[in-house]
Amino acid sequence: MAKPANRIEPLLHNRLAVLRAERGLSRGQLAEALGVNYQTVGYLERGEYNPSLDLALRTADYFGLPVEAIFSREPFPTMSSQLYPVATRPGQGG
């Protein structure tokens, strides 16, 4: 995730790219649904822009998920580690 040199606000991690890909949406389509410029979706996905509370809640409403499932101050665990925890992988753990 690119981080501009003059960034002053804390970095927010998000799952927007995954959610958008999951639903087969283009940035333009998501932008239209959220009422923002299509470039803003790109900046959000790259973590170069932190949404306002209003935009975060609108995004959560659109995807039908709690806001903390989309935005987080800590990095999200990878999908593979969530689907296949180390303990359940063949040949590893009990």
Partner 1 sequence: MVSRSMPSGEPWVDNLSQRRRRVIVALTLAALPMLLAWWWWCSVNSASGGLWFLIVVILLGQAVGGSLVLLAHWSRANRPDRLDERQRQLRDRAWVLSYRVTVIAIAVAVEGALAVPVFGLGRPITLDAGFAYPWGLASIVIFAVLPAAALAWIEPDPPAEI
CB of 8 vs partner 1, minimal distance in Å:
11
Question: Cα(4)–Cα(84) distance, rounded to whole angstroms?
Answer: 34
Question: Cα(92)–Cα(94) distance, rounded to whole angstroms?
Answer: 7
Q: Does 85 bind partner 1 (CB under 8 A)?
A: no
CB of 2 vs partner 1, minimal distance in Å:
9
Question: Cα(78)–Cα(47) distance, rounded to whole angstroms?
Answer: 17
**Contact set for partner 1, span 38-77 (CB under 8 A):** 38-40, 42-43, 45-46, 48-49, 51-52, 54-55
Amino acid found at 16? L
CB of 72 vs partner 1, minimal distance in Å:
20
Strand spans (E) along 1-94: 13-14, 71-72
Q: Are 32 and 20 in contact (CB under 8 A)?
A: no
Of 49 and 63, nearer to partner 1 (C-beta) is 49
Binding positions for partner 1, rule: CB under 8 A: 4, 17, 26-28, 35-40, 42-43, 45-46, 48-49, 51-52, 54-55
